[in-house]
Structure 1
Amino acid sequence: MCGRLNLSSDPADLADELRLDVVSYDFTPRYNVPPGADVPIVVERLNEAGELTRRLETAHWGLVPSWAKDPKIGFKAFNARSETVLEKPMFRQAIRRRRAALPIPGYYEWEVTEDGKQPWMMSAAGQGPLFMAGVFEFWKQPDEQWLVSTSILTMASAGHLREVHDRMPVFLSREHIDEWTDPALATAEVPQLLSATLDQVDPASVTKHRVGRAVGNVRNDSPQLAEPVA
């Protein structure tokens, strides 16, 4: 499960590395981001000239499928289980046609202990953010504007991350981002892509440390939330 994010660094700083053609994500540092908030996604879409462009966009965290009657459905869909994402009506169109990479500096997870829930901060073991595999959708709002929304794929935890929680995001290596976001991939090849994506996940690329319990309150939002505690 992934239910709280740290968005403390600007993903636009990766414009050259990610070969971004368009940056439309409006960065504000946030340290305790819950579902329902705006998050950055890297996607590949056609521009008005019909050219494929790589874009850093803003998306609502909690997928709202095109057939939804009410956008509140997204509050139940901020994560998508990789085991069922190909079959679930909520996600099956998005996984086949609209895949995204989310550049996330870190996320929080809670370990159940005898003394209550202990929060942990997970971040990249190397430089830069974590990249999480996601899906995205478009939903036409009553004012005719389009709402872009996203979900983060999850899988069974592995390695040292299993010590904290039994689920973790599906992490993308930088080399795998191109394959995951490719919109030209044939629908029949998506199951194979998903399987290959799960196989390349390396939990050793993620580091973790305990943080204070103040992060449990979404009203708290400061850099101190991510600082390690004993």
Structure 2
Amino acid sequence: MCGRFSLTEEIYNLKRQFEFEFFDELGPRYNIAPSQMVLAIGQNKGARKGAYLKWGLVPYWAEDSKIGYKMINARSEGIDEKPSFRQPFKQRRCLILSDGFYEWKKIGKEKQPYRFVMKNGQPFALAGLYDIWKKAGKSPLVTCTIITTTPNEVTKDVHDRMPVILKKDDYDTWLDPKNQDIALLKSLLLPYPADEMMKFEVSSLVNSPKNEVPEILQPINSL
């Protein structure tokens, strides 16, 4: 699964790299957790638009928004068939921006957190889905989930899943709501090339989402 990540890059650089409009403020986030707001990019009338979405997808048909706590990830396998994800997969796809994600490896009775980043230090786009939940008397709730796939060589000894990281050339294909070529879209949900990534151990400070400090990013041992 993917249950924690970071985004510390300045908004100016993100706009330049991912070519999107965004008019809100953005501060560094070192320890983004489920149910919090995340920066996502969607497409509207051919243009990329950034917005804050709540992490934990609430399907439009849900009776209770609390279902979102169980929907932080969507497995790529069979995603086009699962009731919670099949409609968003057809036409409500997004990019969720990150510059690193965390996973935990069980070592004896303890769990050691690891941070996964690009070797070039650049931010990247996770494949996401979003949905809009409406209920009488309440404001619309826009939520999202991160798609996961099988691990690559960098992640597999820590966890048996990893988030889908999309390549730049695939952004437009993924974001286009008119594109409902299921086979093509599913072909993008692959493990990211391992030779472009690296991992390192980080402090157990990351274990608690209450810890939102830059020290979390620092490596203990590079691997």
Q: Fold match, TM over 0.5?
A: yes
Aligned to 1:49: none
Tell whether the 8 Å contact from 2:103 to 2:113 is kept in structure 1 after alignment.
Answer: yes
**What letter is aligned with 1:217?**
S
Cα separation, 1, equivalents of 2:23 and 2:133: 18
Summarize deviations over 1:130-169 as a string: whole Å, max 9, x none: 2111111111254452221110000111112111111000
| Residue 53 of structure 1: how far off its partner (Å) | 2.0
Amino acid across the alignment from 2:61: W
Pair 1:84-2:78 in alignment: yes
1:159 is paired with a residue of what secondary structure?
A: coil
* 2:18 equivalent in structure 1: 18
Gaps of 5+ in 2: none
Q: Match for residue 174 of structure 2?
A: 180
What CA distance in whole angstroms lies between the structure 2 residues aligned with 1:14 and 1:33?
17
Q: Which residue of 1 aligns with 2:195?
A: 204
Residue 18 of structure 1 deviates from its aligned partner by 2.3
2:32 is aligned to 33
TM-score, L = length of structure 2 = 0.92
- Corresponding residue for residue 227 of structure 1: 218
Instruction: Please give the per-residue CA displacement for 1:43-72, whole angstroms capped at 9, x wherever unaligned.
Output: 1023xxxxx321011110011111111111
Question: Mean alpha-carbon deviation: is it higher for 11-20 or for 205-214?
Answer: 11-20
Amino acid at match of 1:165: H
Q: 5+ unaligned residues in a row in structure 1: which ranges? A: 47-51
- CA spacing shift, 1:25–1:58, aligned 2, 3 Å: farther
Q: CA RMSD in A?
A: 1.7
Q: Percent identity?
A: 34
**Amino acid paired to 1:10:** E
Q: 1:200 to 1:121 in 2, by over 3 A?
A: closer
- Counterpart AA for 1:207: M
Cα gap change, 1:183 to 1:41, in 2 (>3 Å) = same
Q: 1:104 aligns with which of 98, 106, 125?
A: 98
Q: Which letter does structure 2 place at the counterpart of 1:218?
A: P
Q: How far did residue 105 of structure 1 move?
A: 1.2
What letter is aligned with 1:4?
R
Deviation at 1:2, TM superposition (A): 0.3
Counterpart amino acid of residue 205 in structure 1: E
- Alpha-carbon distance, 1:25 to partner: 4.6
